Chains A and B, each alone.
Chain A
Amino acid sequence: MATNTAAPPESTAAPASSGDVGGPRPDAHGRARRQRRGWLAWLWLVLGVVYTPVLVVMVLSFNASRYGTLPFAFTAEWYVALAGNDALISATGRSLVLSTSVAAVAAALGTALALWMVRFARSGATLFTALLTTAITIPWLILAVAMLLVANAVGVGRGLPLLFLGSLAVAMPYVVLVVVARLQGLGTELEQAARSLGARPLTAFRLVTLPLIGKSVLSGTLLAFIITFNNFPIHFFLAPFGFNTLPMEIYTFVLSGYDPDINALATVLISVAVGLGLVLLAVARRRGGDATATSRLQEMWG
């Protein structure tokens, strides 16, 4: 840009201008470099806001001080305490069972629903997609209170069925939306090609469509799991009394005073999550060594 606008006035003196063409370039490079630095700083700031507290918690889980004071003195004391904290451990168990079962049902029903919407609902697909998209924008707190209200009115009340149903209703739209997007991108020609080569409808689905939407189903299921695991408002309002999920248990602990064994639990959970993420990344990268990690990630999440 800079060279183009600078050239015309000097073009009468051809030899001179050819010498000047090189002039503005280092400047442009300098600006690009400054811009790059600016964006990188911004990126690190955002990452820092997320990761600093996490790292602090992880460090503190190994710190001997009960109140998080320095100097740092290594201890595994809090992990021992965590192992003896039955309330936290059983709450973790409840949360895992709830999230896993909700994610599994959301995966199966959500994928089936997505297939029906794309293949058979025709003009309805856009309406359903819009309704589901709207559904995931409703604040969970309001949704949870409203669900409890209706449940009480029809005489169901708090309980495991209501907790499961409420969690499923919140989590399943994510599976449907992710899989619908993938199916729409896939089109019907691949399945038609398989049919024309002699595959019955179910065989064509199993050998062609399913492998190609597999990553989207997996990422939708993971989303459903994470959302169910974290969904404090839904747990708080819909779970039967005495059935404390992990977020509820942590909330109770924090209210009554903070013990560093919560830090230890947080460290364990984060490690599991990061480990799971790395495994998924490795799985996604397995086929085709040429593609970059980021493109595989995009594929996985979309």
Chain B
Amino acid sequence: MADLRLDEVWMSYSPEGPPVLRGLSIDVADGEFYAMVGPSGSGKTSILKVLGGFVAPDAGRVVLDGSDVSGVPPERRDLGIVFQSYALFPHLTVGENVGFGLRMRRVRAREQRAEVTRLLALVGLPEMEARYPDELSGGQQQRVALARALVTRPKALLLDEPLSALDRKIRQEMQVELRRIQREAGVTAIIVTHDQEEALALGDRLMVLDAGEVRQEGRPAEVYSHPRSRFVATFLGSANLLPATVDAVEPSRIDLGGLPAHGLILPEGSRTGDRVTVCVRPERWRLAGDDGAAPDGLALRATVRSVQLSGQVGECRLDSELGELALTVLSSQVARLEEGVEVSLHAAPDDVHVLEEPAAEPTEATEATAPAGSRP
């Protein structure tokens, strides 16, 4: 159990290749569950390889438990790693798999057996010692991999997309289990995943990674409800992104193609005339009564184009003067939203986020104007 830090780490796989990690810094506190989420190719697995000691960074420091471990080989880093494929040794039994780390530390056989039993009980697989990995289900293999990584009481636990090979139902079960086991073991844990739901559900803290750089970091709820860039807004959940111009700064007034919005919080240093993007999460629209009053925030009228019910919620597409909008409502409200019905939408100032980037040419805009290494 320990804290873990990356300091300005640069890394590329070949000398002339492009850097995969670009001056990346993270700081994980003792006992914290830290989730890193990003699209494939964003450098998630590379971070774990650097932490695990399988790849040396080109520049920067890896600090574990207060000391620089940059030159230390994997076998002396004292980290537990759960690989995406689980990497269970197929020729060894479950008991031998879990006990492997103790065997390497020359722990006496009787203590080994006791520890293996304790760990298998912790992950909910008692009396499985004699089985071979290929006789277990995916979820059970996952638990064995977890037990094997925890048995040596490592300083930290690294999880590489640990749940991606499981089907949806078991995955949700395992998310709860993973949190319980991490709490009970009291171990610092880092999970990398491309699954935003997993990251939001598991992490004490969440970091959104893109192209080897930290895009946003914070408590999951905070990052989700206050995205600070188009990338974060669209990668974590979905978002309505609307082009707008700053009309006035104090008090703020924003012009969305003729439609004004009042009382929004502007990005720091905004000036009149700045082109910005306004972001509203589809589930944050409120269906307002037609009282005609113009409250703060964003209010507009729209026509329902299509409704798709998916279990607890309904996903609607609407046409408005701002173009197509997405709206998510609880399924109990879907009955009111037939095709062709006109509704009034309202989003409170706190649910409308003004992003610094202009809306045009999305990919270029996210690359060019994102504040590099921005941190809360």
Seen from chain A, the residues whose Cβ lies within 8 Å of a Cβ on chain B are 187, 189-190, 192-200, 203, 208, 211-212, 287-288, 290
Contact = CB atoms under 8 A, between A and B. Distances in A.
Contact of B83 (A189, A200, A211, A290): A189
A211 B91 contact: yes
A193 B151 CA distance: 13
10 contacts: A189-B85, A189-B87, A192-B87, A195-B54, A196-B75, A196-B81, A197-B101, A197-B148, A198-B104, A203-B104
B75 A288 contact: no
Contacts of B88: 193
Nearest to A189: B87
Nearest to A288: B132
B75 A192 contact: no
Given A199-B75, A200-B75, A212-B90, A194 B100 contact: yes
A197 B87 contact: no
Q: Which 10 A-B pairs have the closest CB atoms?
A: A198-B104, A197-B101, A193-B87, A195-B74, A189-B87, A196-B81, A211-B91, A189-B83, A198-B75, A197-B100
A181 B116 CA distance: 34
A211 B132 CA distance: 15
A195 B73 CA distance: 9
Contacts of A192: 52, 54, 74, 81, 83, 87
Contacts of A198: 75-76, 101, 104-105, 152
A189 B149 CA distance: 14
A212 B88 CA distance: 12
Interface string B67-96: 000000111110111011101111100000
A211 B152 CA distance: 24
A287 B91 CA distance: 9
B75 A190 contact: no
Contacts of B104: 197-199, 203
Contacts of B149: 196-197
Contacts of B100: 194, 197, 199
Given A192-B74, A197-B149, 12 more contacts: A189-B83, A189-B85, A192-B87, A194-B100, A195-B75, A196-B75, A197-B75, A198-B105, A199-B75, A200-B75, A212-B91, A287-B91
A196 B77 contact: yes
B101 A190 contact: no
A176 to B, nearest CB: 23
A194, A198, A208 — which one has the most chain B CB atoms within 10 A of its CB?
A198
B80 A196 contact: yes
A195 B149 CA distance: 12
B152 A197 contact: yes
A193 B81 contact: yes
B88, B101, B105 — which one has the most chain A CB atoms within 10 A of its CB?
B101
Interface residues of B, number: 29
Nearest to A214: B91
B52 A196 contact: yes
Contact of A193 (B73, B76, B83, B91): B83
A187, A196, A199, A290 — which one has the most chain B CB atoms within 10 A of its CB?
A196
B152 A190 contact: no
Contacts of A200: 73, 75
Nearest to B85: A189
A195 B81 CA distance: 10
A192 B84 CA distance: 12
A197 to B, nearest CB: 4
Contacts of B135: 290
Contact of A190 (B79, B89, B105): B89
A192, A200, A203 — which one has the most chain B CB atoms within 10 A of its CB?
A192
A193 B135 CA distance: 20
Contacts of A187: 85
Nearest to B74: A195
B87 A190 contact: yes
A193 B88 CA distance: 8
Nearest to B52: A196
A199 to B, nearest CB: 5
B164 to A, nearest CB: 14
A137 B67 CA distance: 56
Contacts of B105: 198
A19 to B, nearest CB: 41
Contacts of A203: 104
A287 B133 CA distance: 13
A100 to B, nearest CB: 27
Nearest to B89: A208
Contacts of B76: 198
A287 B105 CA distance: 27
A117 to B, nearest CB: 19
Nearest to B145: A193
Contacts of B148: 193, 197
A192 B91 CA distance: 16
Contacts of B81: 192-193, 196
Contact of A196 (B79, B85, B90, B91): B79
Contacts of A199: 75, 100, 104
A189 B86 CA distance: 9
A208 B87 CA distance: 11
Contacts of A290: 135
A212 B132 CA distance: 14
Interface in B143-169: 148-149, 152
Nearest to B83: A189
A145 to B, nearest CB: 44
B17 to A, nearest CB: 13
A290 B132 CA distance: 11
B13 to A, nearest CB: 10
A194 B103 CA distance: 11
Nearest to A195: B74
Contacts of B90: 212
A130 B91 CA distance: 31
Nearest to A290: B135
B289 to A, nearest CB: 53
Interface string B283-320: 00000000000000000000000000000000000000
Contacts of B73: 195, 200
A148 B76 CA distance: 54
B271 to A, nearest CB: 51
